Chain A
Amino acid sequence: MENGHISPDRPAVLAKVRHAIAEVLADNRVEVKVADHLVDDLGLDSTSIASLTIALEDEFDEVLLLNDWIAEAHSPSDLTVDSLVDYLMGLLAESD
């Protein structure tokens, strides 16, 4: 993000998501893959999703909510890194 506006550049968004997840997990050694499930593979839960939201806010310097991303899923297992990147790309594109 530059000067308050974000270009929805997928690799850049993915990098920030990976960084935010690593921060929430407090472990930079974790290899976060695009296909990873946040709950089943990475062990996130509802409280750490809130932490992830804050970490993403700090990464993107934007006030974000992940509620709609979660609410659109059929199962916690549907919440993947890939789908999160898609969701954020959509949010960020809206503001451009």
Chain B
Amino acid sequence: MPFDVAAQDGVLTLTLDTPGSPINIFNHATAHQLIEIMSTVTTTTTRAVVFQTAKPHSFINGVGLLLAHAAQTYADIERASTPPWQAYRAVREAPVPTIAVIQGNCFGCGVEFALNCDYRIASDTGETQFYMTELNDYLFIPLFGSTWNLPATVGMADAIDLLLWGERWDARRAGERGLIDAVASHEDLTDQADQLVAQAIERPRQRRGAIAWHADVAAAVARARRRIAELPAEYQPVYEDALQLLITGAKQTESYDTHQRRELQRSAASALAPIGKAAYAFFYLRQMASERAAGRARDEAPVIKLGIAAQGDAARDFGAVLGRRRLPGVTLTPPESGDFRLHSPPAAGLSVVTPGVESAGDVTLRLTVAAEPTTDNEIYAPAFHTGVRLLELATRPRDGATGNPTLAPLARTLQRFGFVVARTTPTSRFVTTRLLVAYLSPLLRELANGGDAAIINRSLRAAGFIRLPGNVLGGVDLAALAQQIVPAGPGVGAEVALQTLCDTAIGDRQNPAIINALCLSLLAATLSTREERAVRDPSIIDVIARELLDFPRHLCSLCTWLKRARVGVALQDHRALELVDGATLEMARAFLAEGREFYR
């Protein structure tokens, strides 16, 4: 059963542990059990109900994308969402106080579940993250009450940031914004949760009502509308729908039931729309790339010591990021002088190595633009300073197809720190560099041909790229990047052109040839990655493209977009052909002739 049930002194503690899964998922089995449990809760038998997790990395990660993905009609989604909705409702209407004790990821409907509890306390560790996945990853509207509960709990501006713009909040920030009532260290979580339970029993909380519609609330809505207007056209209706639901939820001018029905209708419409269907298919690709990097197991080495010997600002910054994301069981050695190295012995997890002393498990960190790995094990993150969570872990296989097994614990630990780890094999170029150069080369050729950076930026946005070159390259060393682009691009002046691209505002007009050229250029990079066997499967390229380039959600992924039909269209655009080199064209034509898609 998903919930383990324990009762002591009238306090019912339900510990969620989704069977067979590394994360908790609020599936139908969970919903049915919870409905049954909550039906037995009365004020005579129970004083409070506490929800906690048995999985250290996950409170609740989701209801399961299958609910939205395996559906054709509104009736399908209504039927599939009824059990979880009834379970949430049972918690909301419990006759005794309910308390969520949150440790680990609290994503999407996990946030919505917690909002249906009267009180929330969270562990202040790096893995406790609050994030509304629905719109930000999958372009559909959440359907379990967040558009009603969020404004009342955190106010309109923060509700917009969380739900529309996908802000990730750690426990401290969630506490500051009012999403949770208390923050506790990992060690003190149980004691402080007990205190919160006692407080809840003594002073049950009343539901919050409508928020006061002051000028600052209206201003937050106006800001959101301006930002929505800058989104790709096909994204705007779903974002506007979500904002409208937040507004009606905040005002509470209709009943909760009426609002819930409206929320379900709008959510179903967004989930069934083609862009929604395409967007949440990416979920599987992300999971596949994650598993390719870290394996299926989620158990950790018994002792983990992550040592950092840093040199230079970049390495110190990386150490500082790790230091802020505290993880239970991970000891972080403060940055010292010397080379930055991570060491990953098979039995003891990660430990510090003396700078300069290398062993087979050492991993070198590169945070600046580079062409190719120079050692067997490197972490490459040239866009780290722009806030990109992507780490390319380039490791040379030692035992055939599976690669170096000792690095799986390292990948898992880095994932726990919140990074997206893409596991590649060292070849003539980092995959990250390949894609970055392929993305920029046609844009710089367009500039070299007299094109307008404002039109380039509008073309990218219209195609679905929310982050433009100015965002993608915000903290990247442009001089070093230009050196990588010169052989494939316009030659002299690449750094100046990159700066122009970054500094220019988005224009009004667009040029479809730019996206067609981008298609051909990214195809060539992907094909060379495949030919050199730099990745185990295309999902890894897809994740790099999403994290690094903000590859559009509604297109699902780079490799699903690069179908022969799409490439054929690009090859018909003579203006686009001027923006790529001969080798790229040759590869694109060979791809069409070969007749093999990246995915079946």
Q: Which residues of A contact B (CB under 8 A)?
A: 24-26, 39-40, 43, 45-51, 53-54, 57, 62-67, 70-71, 73-76, 78-79, 91-92, 94-95
B-side contacts of A66, CB under 8 Å:
284
Q: Mark B282-318, 1 if CB is under 8 A from A, else 0.
A: 0111111001100010000000000000000000000
Q: B599 touching A47 by the CB < 8 A rule?
A: no
Q: A47 touching B21 by the CB < 8 A rule?
A: yes
In the complex, 28 of the A-B residue pairs with CB atoms within 8 angstroms, ordered by the A residue number, are: A39-B27, A39-B28, A43-B19, A43-B29, A46-B62, A46-B65, A46-B283, A47-B23, A47-B25, A47-B287, A48-B21, A49-B284, A54-B537, A57-B537, A63-B538, A63-B599, A64-B600, A65-B599, A67-B556, A70-B69, A74-B72, A74-B73, A75-B80, A76-B64, A79-B66, A79-B70, A91-B600, A92-B600
Say yes or no for B55: interface residue by CB 8 A criterion: no
Return B57 CB to nearest CB of chain A, in Å.
Answer: 12
Q: B287 touching A51 by the CB < 8 A rule?
A: yes
A-side contacts of B169, CB under 8 Å:
none
Of B80, B281, B537, which is within 8 A of A71 by CB?
B281
A-side contacts of B277, CB under 8 Å:
71
A-side contacts of B19, CB under 8 Å:
43
A-side contacts of B22, CB under 8 Å:
47
Q: B288 touching A54 by the CB < 8 A rule?
A: yes
B-side contacts of A71, CB under 8 Å:
69-70, 277, 281
- A-B complex: 10 closest residue pairs judged by Cβ atoms: A50-B287, A73-B70, A67-B281, A76-B66, A46-B65, A65-B599, A50-B284, A91-B600, A46-B64, A76-B70
Question: How far apart are the CA atoms of A95 and B80 in the complex, in Å?
Answer: 35
Of B25, B73, B556, B560, which is within 8 A of A46 by CB?
B25
Return A93 CB to nearest CB of chain B, in Å.
Answer: 11
A-side contacts of B79, CB under 8 Å:
75
B-side contacts of A62, CB under 8 Å:
600
Q: B76 touching A75 by the CB < 8 A rule?
A: yes
Say yes or no for B231: interface residue by CB 8 A criterion: no
Q: Which residues 6-40 in B have Cβ within 8 Å of A in the complex?
A: 18-23, 25, 27-29
Return B67 CB to nearest CB of chain A, in Å.
Answer: 7
Question: How far apart are the CA atoms of A57 and B27 in the complex, in Å?
Answer: 26
Q: A74 touching B20 by the CB < 8 A rule?
A: no
Return A81 CB to nearest CB of chain B, in Å.
Answer: 15
Question: How far apart are the CA atoms of A43 and B599 in the complex, in Å?
Answer: 26
Return B227 CB to nearest CB of chain A, in Å.
Answer: 30
In this complex, what residue of B is CB-closest to A23?
A: B296
B-side contacts of A76, CB under 8 Å:
64, 66-67, 70, 80
Q: B71 touching A94 by the CB < 8 A rule?
A: no
Say yes or no for B598: interface residue by CB 8 A criterion: yes
Known: A71-B277, A73-B70, A74-B70. A95 touches B284 (CB 8 A): no
In this complex, what residue of B is CB-closest to A92?
A: B600
Question: How far apart are the CA atoms of A57 and B365 in the complex, in Å?
Answer: 31
In this complex, what residue of A is CB-closest to B530?
A: A63
Known: A50-B284, A79-B70. A43 touches B20 (CB 8 A): yes
Question: How far apart are the CA atoms of A82 and B291 in the complex, in Å?
Answer: 26
Q: B70 touching A70 by the CB < 8 A rule?
A: yes
Of B62, B65, B285, B296, which is within 8 A of A51 by CB?
B296
Question: How far apart are the CA atoms of A58 and B29 in the complex, in Å?
Answer: 30
A-side contacts of B18, CB under 8 Å:
45
Question: How far apart are the CA atoms of A91 and B18 in the complex, in Å?
Answer: 32
Q: A53 touching B288 by the CB < 8 A rule?
A: yes
Count of A-B residue pairs with CB < 8 Å:
103
Return B84 CB to nearest CB of chain A, in Å.
Answer: 12
Question: How far apart are the CA atoms of A93 and B272 in the complex, in Å?
Answer: 29
In this complex, what residue of B is CB-closest to A62?
A: B600
B-side contacts of A39, CB under 8 Å:
27-28, 66
Question: How far apart are the CA atoms of A26 and B20 in the complex, in Å?
Answer: 9
Question: How far apart are the CA atoms of A73 and B296 in the complex, in Å?
Answer: 26
Question: How far apart are the CA atoms of A53 and B538 in the complex, in Å?
Answer: 13
Question: How far apart are the CA atoms of A24 and B19 in the complex, in Å?
Answer: 13
A-side contacts of B80, CB under 8 Å:
75-76
A-side contacts of B28, CB under 8 Å:
39-40
Question: How far apart are the CA atoms of A54 and B25 in the complex, in Å?
Answer: 20
Q: Which residues 577-600 in B have Cβ within 8 Å of A in the complex?
A: 598-600
B-side contacts of A94, CB under 8 Å:
600
Given A25-B20, A39-B27, 9 other A-B residues pairs in contact with their CB atoms under 8 A: A39-B66, A45-B66, A50-B287, A54-B292, A67-B69, A67-B284, A70-B66, A74-B70, A75-B80
B-side contacts of A26, CB under 8 Å:
20
Question: How far apart are the CA atoms of A75 and B67 in the complex, in Å?
Answer: 7
B-side contacts of A73, CB under 8 Å:
70-72
Q: Which residues 47-91 in B have Cβ within 8 Å of A in the complex?
A: 61-62, 64-67, 69-73, 76, 79-80
B-side contacts of A65, CB under 8 Å:
281, 284-285, 560, 599-600
Return B599 CB to nearest CB of chain A, in Å.
Answer: 4
Q: Mark B184-217, 1 if CB is under 8 A from A, else 0.
A: 0000000000000000000000000000000000
In this complex, what residue of A is CB-closest to B70?
A: A73
Q: A75 touching B71 by the CB < 8 A rule?
A: yes
Question: How far apart are the CA atoms of A63 and B29 in the complex, in Å?
Answer: 31
Question: How far apart are the CA atoms of A62 and B541 in the complex, in Å?
Answer: 16
Question: How far apart are the CA atoms of A49 and B62 in the complex, in Å?
Answer: 14
Question: How far apart are the CA atoms of A95 and B292 in the complex, in Å?
Answer: 25
In this complex, what residue of A is CB-closest to B287?
A: A50
Of A45, A51, A75, which is within 8 A of B291 by CB?
A51
Return A34 CB to nearest CB of chain B, in Å.
Answer: 19
Return A43 CB to nearest CB of chain B, in Å.
Answer: 6
A-side contacts of B61, CB under 8 Å:
47
A-side contacts of B27, CB under 8 Å:
39, 45
Return B293 CB to nearest CB of chain A, in Å.
Answer: 12
Of A53, A75, A91, which is within 8 A of B284 by CB?
A53
In this complex, what residue of A is CB-closest to B556?
A: A67
Question: How far apart are the CA atoms of A76 and B21 in the complex, in Å?
Answer: 17
Of A51, A54, A62, A67, most B-chain CB atoms within 10 Å: A67
Q: B76 touching A45 by the CB < 8 A rule?
A: no
